[in-house]
Structure 1
């Protein structure tokens, strides 16, 4: 969805608001799959940098997981690491 729109430059409405962020995260990606993984990793990193969450992460009271929901199969891949 949003990653593909960002790759193709067709982002409008709500997707348009996040497409700029996604484009920055997926620079250099050679496939949609790679772009998706780069976007998820970027999201994990951005959330991990949140000042309110950092103390919880450092104490291992919070774990941030990245996932990819495949629109075609309906499967969720939680194997993405930052």
Structure 2
């Protein structure tokens, strides 16, 4: 999985396995999921805090540099 910063927040782009799975879903339901992204900014703070709780100090410092919200969450006790 690759993380790209684009505009507001962080966008996660799935790898090849997820894209091929998406292609199979297209065939089954007739809907296209090309270009769909997941925004971490849309997640509730409680879930982001749980995710950040698994990071070590260096990774928390990096996460705090993403945006203002992540800075405050990464520095939360």
- The TM-score with structure 2 as length reference comes to 0.26
Larger radius of gyration: 2
- The TM-score with structure 1 as length reference comes to 0.25
